Structure 1
Amino acid sequence: MLQSIKTYGLPLLLTVYLSACGVLDPVDDNHATIDRVHENPSFAEGVLIAAYTKIPTNSLSFNDVATDDAVSNDKLNNYLRMATGQWSAIFNPVSQWENCIAAIQSINQFLDMVDEVNWKQSIPELQWMYTQRFKGEAYALRALFQYHLLVTTAGPGADGQMLGIPVIDRFLDVNADFNIPRATFAQSVAQIYSDIDRSLEYLTMNDYRNISDPGQLPPGYQNVSVVNYNIIFGNELNQRISARMAKALKARVALLEASPAFNSGNTALWEKTAGFAGEVLNTIGGIAGIDPAGHRFYLKSLVDALNVSAGSPIDQKEILWRRSVANSNTREQANFPPSLFGRGNVNPTQNLVDAFPAANGYPITDPASNYDPSAPYANRDPRLQLYIAYNGNTFSGKPLLTGRGGGVNAKDSIESSTRTGYYLKKLLVEEVNLNPVSSTTQKHYEVHMRYTELFLIYAEAANEAWGPDGTGAAGFSARNVIEALRKRAGIPQPDAYLASVVTKEDMRKVIRNERRLELCFEGFRFWDLRRWKENLTEPAKGININGSVMTVVDVEPRAFSNEYMHYGPVPETEVVKYNALVQNKGW
């Protein structure tokens, strides 16, 4: 990819954007193109938009099917292939190397030109604010892409030194030296923090909302007009990256830095993580800011309540940053059971089903749970029925049978049947109709970050820093967070099981399990297992049901090495081309 970015000169970077606009005309040379960009703000903004289109969370990866949480019934699925033994520095479906470096190149090119563009030179106040906001977006986005690159690439070199990413903080033209070594992990983290801090010099915490009174103008913008402020930072921009998201990203980066895969017991890193997360959470009232419906954010009734335009000031309390709303049924086509004309691709595992506690909050392995193996889905955490379709459950209002005699929905019945005995419910809109005679779509949107994730970051960090009940500067504890999330899920209060958890070690297990449940199928589990340095080889399990006989079976191995696969590889093609790039140990 470092070789290929030599071809990403300005004309090529603009090609996709300009051709989409129908305004790409022949130019004599690159100088003419640059002059044109400086005078046409739409062209210039297209360079930044090119980076927005590459955000990894623009769509769901469902890399969960390479973990103990799910399998795929698509035998050609790339994550299935990597999970069953094909993951290598050549075949790496979770790589973000090419995508992120291309985005960083776009951003660096934009930063080179942003001060020269005629955003609105006829109105100096608007010209200044445009430049400020665009710089803030660019630095925040560069930090975001560096973070995703770090997650997927960081690891120890052959000598054991923890390495990060190649820090590319300037636009590399065709004459640049592309043989850039990886910075250390610590240097990479510092670079991301630096970019976030730069972004916060320009962005505001007003979340792209129109204001009506000069008293609402944020620091740094108190002397501008309300009308002009709303043009630059108002409702129409509400899917752009914000100061709030930049601060939340800082907590994500700190969580990675503090995790066992990269931290040898430095408690200060956990304290820092809790501090970053707590700062953002207290802007929404701390624990009181938890959205009562946050765990159901994807349901039709909640999505329909949003305005579909980019200028909508209406949003779910749960959502920190999202994409716009659009009508589709693609996700349902991929994952509905075959009886509902879906392909049933993502199959939750018995491993994940067993992670949901009993209705009283106790793990099903605890005698106090009153768990009955002959009625395994009775009296369980309500999130189980919400997120996973199991035998005897309903789907789109229709009974679902996955045991023998269950027709096309039965386990291993046809190619589009479940391989585990379970179908995915979470993230799907059950009101979609896929019947070819009368198919329909429903509103969906992709999420970049939910507040639930940030609360879980805080809980994990606070517990590691101060134990279950330490509060730090934020004023609330890990226990407070987990109690609130379990209460929201429907666990009766007082939560007797949670009250029995008193040690940091036991609370760690609870927090990690809650994170597993709350964020399942959103792309977290694959990298969570690795940053925790957990066992990667737990087979994916399913259940065979024949009448009243239920048998747990291994469905698919997880052929990962616990020796080195807690860290992803650098693409082999890059290591071969550039001798300054060091490959991670084992790859």
Structure 2
Amino acid sequence: MKLNKILFFLLILLMVISSCTLLEPEDDNHSTLQRVYDDPEYAEGLLMRAYAYIPTNSYNWDEVATDDAVTNDKFSSYMRMATGEWTALYNPQDLWTNCNRAILSVDQFLSVVDSVPWKWTDQTLNDLYAKRLTGESYAIRGLMKYFLLRNHAGIGENGELLGIPEYNEFPTTQEDFSAPRSSFAQSVQSAYADLDKSLDYLPMDYGDASEGDIPAGFGGVTLENYNTVFGSNTQQRMSGRHAKAIKARLALLAASPAFNIENNNTLWENAANYTAELLDDIGGISGLDPTGHIFYLKEQVDQADITGGDRTDLPEMLWRRPLSNSNGRESDNFPPSIYGDGEINPTQNLVDAFPMANGYPISDQSSGYDPNNPYEGRDPRLSYYIVYDGSTMRGNNIEIGVGEGDDAIGSLQNSTRTGYYLKKLLREDVNVDPSSSNSKEHFEVHIRYTELFLNYAEAANEAWGPNGSGTHGYSAKDVIAAIRNRAGIEQADTYLETVTDKEAMRELIRNERRLELCFEGFRFWDLRRWKKNLTEPAKGIRIEGNSYTTFDVEERVYDNDYMHYGPIPGREITKFGFVQNKGWN
């Protein structure tokens, strides 16, 4: 009996051991970090993961949390934020996690990039791939630091202007992750260092070179090898030009009132000069794309196809995403009468910001504005960007007056709340009728030159006044004149001629920025970096016959004492003891 018990126990033990062996995966069934040293595609995945976190990979429509728009989506996180729910625990503008994940992926990639066999059969090509990928990595890390500073830097509870913790090497311990937030100035310099470092590795632009045209810094490289690594197949990845544009953006942020607390004029000069480096390279004012303000329309999108022909992008585009075939924007935002959900509703506030075609603000007695015929004789950009009562879209007359049909206020759940619908970024050759729907090509923009022209105008005006140009051949006033002329403002621009001092030019530049960049993700953060009033109610228009009545659509519930800066996520305060920005308890 005792022997039987022993045999039974041994049998059970054998079965357990055997089952454990069967259930345990073999080492080669799952990947470890060791694989990056053997598999270039797997190693590059660390870098591509960082690319996937770039915030401008898609439009986020956060204008509905500003005075420029509301939404009819009752579940919108931005609407909740704008109407009083914004906290350190509920923050739809939180980029802390994703940007830091991207930075950590870059750090890990930089630790292995020189050990990966990118082209084991050719050492020269291997070194060139490592060089380009290293440059891309530093540029992406600088970009992510910029977004972290824009969204999360601020005056801490300790009274200091704080930036971000700096992860310039892959952290391995709790202490590494708990590195305190650096000062804002130190964080800016850290991002500058990454962006400048990237220029040691990257050409200004990608594209196939010709014999004798290989960029400086790549001496001794054959034309075939250069084009293999830096040629047209690499377009739209991080280049030297992109890195310079990000640095210029960051310089403008650092010079802005929310962060330039002592109004240091050198910071404004830096922002102007860094931006002008890029504008000078396209010929200054003469490089302004004549159709840059309507870059999203069919003709421009068709010209943006760089997969064939001369592979030349639109002059407006400094950096964008590839073309993709879709109809989601139109389905979400067309008026209900043409089968859309009408989600983004521009406000009367924004409509009132468009001047008359003669260039005068509608509040100016010289404008000729008629409140009983409010859309007549307006800046042409109004009809490009916003659908108003009487607009034509896809051949349909859009009637928004009370009782005029599906598109009128309150008619349907997806009808406008403000009396307006979005038109910018949409293609009218898209059909979202379920019985005959189609899709067309679109793209998302990372950086376009109009933004840089406006960045320069803002910085140059603050540094040198409306007519000053530093060492450059154009002033803030010259830039604004060119942008308004392109928009279709009647020439001569007599209103612009009346703007002669820095303060008046500042307001005009900010208004032109509001119009030109509307619905591209700028207004929310522009108001904050300018330290402007955040609580202006979102207004709409109610049209009844010939009567136009303005009304408040939605309150903006922000605290102007501290909400010019975003919070650090509450969980990060708990885990790592970071100093929180003032007011975000």
TM range (shorter): over 0.9
Aligned counterpart, 1:442: 440
Task: Provide the C-alpha distance between the structure 2 equivalents of 1:477 and 1:204, rounded to a whole number of angstroms.
Answer: 29
Aligned counterpart, 2:398: 400
Shift of 1:34: 3.5
Unaligned runs of 5+ in 1: 1-24
Aligned counterpart, 1:464: 462
Once the two structures are superposed, the pairs formed by residues 96-495 of structure 1 within 5 Å of their partners are 96-173=95-172, 177-205=176-204, 207-213=205-211, 215-263=212-260, 264-307=262-305, 309=307, 313-495=311-493
Q: Which letter does structure 1 place at the counterpart of 2:236?
A: Q
CA deviation digits over 1:302-361, x for unaligned, max 9?
Answer: 102232649972311000001100100011111111111111100000000000000000
Q: Secondary structure of the equivalent of 1:448?
A: strand
Shift of 1:26: 6.1
Q: Secondary structure of the equivalent of 2:329?
A: helix
Q: Secondary structure of the equivalent of 1:550?
A: strand
Does the 8 Å contact 1:237/1:310 carry over to 2? no
Q: Which letter does structure 2 place at the counterpart of 1:265?
A: N
Tell me how large the CA RMSD over aligned residues is.
1.5
Which has the higher mean CA deviation after the structures are superposed, 241-250 or 116-125? 116-125
Q: Secondary structure of the equivalent of 1:327?
A: strand
Task: Provide the C-alpha distance between the structure 1 equivalents of 2:402 and 2:174, rounded to a whole number of angstroms.
Answer: 65
Q: Which letter does structure 1 place at the counterpart of 2:142?
A: A
Task: Provide the C-alpha distance between the structure 2 equivalents of 1:57 and 1:312, rounded to a whole number of angstroms.
Answer: 26
Aligned counterpart, 1:3: none
Does the 8 Å contact 1:434/1:440 carry over to 2? yes
Aligned counterpart, 1:543: 541
Does the 8 Å contact 1:362/1:368 carry over to 2? yes
Shift of 1:159: 2.4
Unaligned runs of 5+ in 2: 1-24
Does the 8 Å contact 2:306/2:312 carry over to 1? no
Does the 8 Å contact 1:236/1:312 carry over to 2? no
Task: Provide the C-alpha distance between the structure 2 equivalents of 1:565 and 1:359, rounded to a whole number of angstroms.
Answer: 36
Quick one: percent identity of the two aligned structures?
A: 57
Aligned counterpart, 1:513: 511
Task: Provide the C-alpha distance between the structure 2 equivalents of 1:196 and 1:381, rounded to a whole number of angstroms.
Answer: 39
Q: Secondary structure of the equivalent of 1:453?
A: helix
Q: How many residues align?
A: 559
TM-score by length of 2: 0.94
Task: Provide the C-alpha distance between the structure 1 equivalents of 2:293 and 2:450, rounded to a whole number of angstroms.
Answer: 8
Q: Secondary structure of the equivalent of 1:369?
A: coil
TM-score by length of 1: 0.93
Aligned counterpart, 2:20: none
Q: Which letter does structure 2 place at the counterpart of 1:245?
A: H
Does the 8 Å contact 1:237/1:311 carry over to 2? no
Task: Provide the C-alpha distance between the structure 2 equivalents of 1:131 and 1:43, rounded to a whole number of angstroms.
Answer: 14
Does the 8 Å contact 2:348/2:541 carry over to 1? yes
Task: Provide the C-alpha distance between the structure 2 equivalents of 1:177 and 1:367, rounded to a whole number of angstroms.
Answer: 61
Shift of 1:75: 1.2
Q: Is the alpha carbon distance of 1:92 and 1:311 closer, same or farther for their aligned partners in structure 2, counting shifts above 3 Å?
A: farther
Q: Is the alpha carbon distance of 1:27 and 1:276 closer, same or farther for their aligned partners in structure 2, counting shifts above 3 Å?
A: farther
Shift of 1:374: 0.5
Task: Provide the C-alpha distance between the structure 2 equivalents of 1:519 and 1:311, rounded to a whole number of angstroms.
Answer: 30
Does the 8 Å contact 1:459/1:478 carry over to 2? yes
Q: Secondary structure of the equivalent of 1:321?
A: strand
Q: Secondary structure of the equivalent of 2:203?
A: coil
Does the 8 Å contact 1:200/1:246 carry over to 2? yes
Does the 8 Å contact 2:464/2:470 carry over to 1? yes
| 2:50 is aligned with 1:63 | no
Q: Is the alpha carbon distance of 1:346 and 1:534 closer, same or farther for their aligned partners in structure 2, counting shifts above 3 Å?
A: same
Shift of 1:268: 0.6
Aligned counterpart, 2:83: 84
Once the two structures are superposed, the pairs formed by residues 524-563 of structure 1 within 5 Å of their partners are 524-563=522-561
Task: Provide the C-alpha distance between the structure 2 equivalents of 1:307 and 1:357, rounded to a whole number of angstroms.
Answer: 34
Task: Provide the C-alpha distance between the structure 1 equivalents of 2:117 and 2:420, rounded to a whole number of angstroms.
Answer: 56
Q: Which letter does structure 1 place at the counterpart of 2:553?
A: V
Task: Provide the C-alpha distance between the structure 1 equivalents of 2:295 and 2:273, rounded to a whole number of angstroms.
Answer: 26
Task: Provide the C-alpha distance between the structure 2 equivalents of 1:92 and 1:320, rounded to a whole number of angstroms.
Answer: 30
CA deviation digits over 1:433-478, x for unaligned, max 9?
Answer: 0111110000001110000000111000000000000011222100
Shift of 1:36: 2.7
Q: Is the alpha carbon distance of 1:310 and 1:117 closer, same or farther for their aligned partners in structure 2, counting shifts above 3 Å?
A: farther
Q: Which letter does structure 1 place at the counterpart of 2:230?
A: F
Does the 8 Å contact 2:540/2:550 carry over to 1? yes
Which has the higher mean CA deviation after the structures are superposed, 219-228 or 481-490? 219-228
Aligned counterpart, 1:5: none
Shift of 1:250: 0.7
Task: Provide the C-alpha distance between the structure 2 equivalents of 1:476 and 1:26, rounded to a whole number of angstroms.
Answer: 66
Does the 8 Å contact 1:335/1:345 carry over to 2? yes
Q: Which letter does structure 1 place at the counterpart of 2:370?
A: D
Task: Provide the C-alpha distance between the structure 2 equivalents of 1:479 and 1:308, rounded to a whole number of angstroms.
Answer: 34
Q: Is the alpha carbon distance of 1:175 and 1:182 closer, same or farther for their aligned partners in structure 2, counting shifts above 3 Å?
A: closer
Q: Secondary structure of the equivalent of 2:112?
A: helix
Task: Provide the C-alpha distance between the structure 2 equivalents of 1:203 and 1:311, rounded to a whole number of angstroms.
Answer: 25
CA deviation digits over 1:490-540, x for unaligned, max 9?
Answer: 012221000110000000000000000000000000000000000000000
Shift of 1:412: 1.8
Task: Provide the C-alpha distance between the structure 1 equivalents of 2:239 and 2:176, rounded to a whole number of angstroms.
Answer: 33
Task: Provide the C-alpha distance between the structure 2 equivalents of 1:333 and 1:171, rounded to a whole number of angstroms.
Answer: 43
Task: Provide the C-alpha distance between the structure 2 equivalents of 1:315 and 1:46, rounded to a whole number of angstroms.
Answer: 27
Does the 8 Å contact 1:401/1:409 carry over to 2? yes
Q: Secondary structure of the equivalent of 1:37?
A: helix
Q: Secondary structure of the equivalent of 1:190?
A: helix
Alignment partner of 2:498 out of 497, 500, 503: 500
Does the 8 Å contact 2:306/2:313 carry over to 1? no
Does the 8 Å contact 1:542/1:555 carry over to 2? yes
Shift of 1:578: 1.6
Q: Which letter does structure 2 place at the counterpart of 1:130?
A: Y
Shift of 1:28: 5.2
**Structure 1 residue ranges (4+ consecutive) displaced by more than 6 angstroms after TM superposition:** none
